[in-house]
């Protein structure tokens, strides 16, 4: 399943980039909540990865990506011992996600890449049967309210010279996912923050 709004459209569509991302996240929350309230939740695992991690950089490296796993079998206890979510620090890649799915489903590896990948063992509890799950494991997810800007529209932004320039840049970009390149990252950054553009992002745009 693809939730497309995380790509954003700069300032060329109805909603602002941060509103589009918030709507995307809210949709994901609704999906996980719906699944967790069904009787087959005890045999479900959902893997969520962000597309195009290499199309933009963060403060460490452009190859980093977000991986979320929702399942009764995942670890739920954080590093401070409280219920609320486990954060793993092992190095995994896309092949690791595929390999984990294959092991869960009992499928053979598709290639040498996933066959040799490290499964996501760190993210799961040592339970392999529904009878071993506790009420805390099976507790359904309930989505929280979205941020105040979830319905923020481009038309509602102050029509400053900077905003109009970003709108023109956005309109000039190629249409469709995976076509804009790093310029979209810069537009999203300028439209959503009041901070200077990171040097690494300037370098990506300059290329």
Residue range 145-184, pLDDT digits in tens: 999 999 999 998 888 888 898 899 888 887 777 677 778 8
Question: Has residue 48 been placed in a domain?
Answer: yes
pLDDT at residue 201, rounded to an integer: 67
165 falls within a domain? no
Per the domain annotation, does 111 fall within a domain?
A: yes
Note whether 45 and 104 are within 8 A (CB). yes
Residue-level pLDDT at 173: 84
Percent of the chain with pLDDT over 70: 87
201 within a domain of the structure (yes/no): no
169 domain residue, yes or no = no
CB under 8 Å to 118, separation ≥6 — which residues? Answer: 90, 91, 92, 96, 99
User: Is there a domain that residue 1 lies in?
Assistant: no
pLDDT single digits (tens) 93-136: 899 999 999 999 999 999 999 999 999 999 999 998 899 999 98
Q: How far is CA 98 from the centre of its chain?
A: 17
Q: What pLDDT score was predicted for residue 204?
A: 63
Residue 175 in domain: no
Structural domains of the chain, count: 1
Helix (H, G, I), strand (E, B) or coil at 20: helix
- CA pseudo-torsion sign 29, 61, 179, 94: negative
Domain of residue 43, residue span: 38-138
- 59 has pLDDT over 70: no
Vertex 23: Cα angle to 31 and 184 (nearest 5): 125
- Distance CA(85)–CA(74), nearest Å, equals 9
Within-domain flag for 122: yes
What's the predicted TM-score (pTM) here? 0.84
Residue 19 above 90 pLDDT?
Answer: yes
Average pLDDT over the chain reads 86
Task: Retrieve residue 22's tokens.
Answer: 């918030």
Length of the chain: 207
pLDDT: is 160 or 71 the higher one?
A: 71
């Amino acid at each position: 399943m693809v939730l497309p709004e995380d790509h954003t459209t700069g300032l060329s569509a109805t909603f602002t980039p941060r509103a589009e991302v918030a709507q995307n996240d809210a949709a994901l929350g609704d999906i996980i909540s719906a699944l967790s309230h069904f009787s087959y939740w005890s045999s479900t695992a959902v893997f969520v990865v962000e597309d195009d991690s290499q199309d933009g950089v963060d403060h460490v490296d452009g190859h980093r990506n977000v991986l979320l796993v929702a399942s009764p079998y995942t670890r739920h206890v954080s590093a401070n011992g409280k219920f609320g979510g486990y954060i793993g620090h092992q190095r995994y890649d896309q092949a690791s996600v595929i390999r984990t799915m294959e092991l869960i489903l009992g499928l053979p590896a598709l290639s040498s890449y996933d066959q040799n990948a490290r499964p996501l063992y760190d993210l799961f509890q040592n339970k392999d049967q529904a009878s071993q799950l506790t009420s805390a494991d099976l507790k359904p997810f309930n989505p929280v309210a979205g941020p105040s800007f979830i319905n923020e529209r481009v038309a509602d932004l102050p029509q400053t010279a900077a905003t109009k320039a970003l709108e023109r840049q956005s309109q000039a970009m190629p249409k469709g996912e995976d076509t804009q390149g790093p310029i979209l990252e810069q537009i999203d950054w300028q439209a959503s923050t009041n901070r200077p553009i990171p040097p690494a992002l300037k370098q990506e745009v300059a290329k």
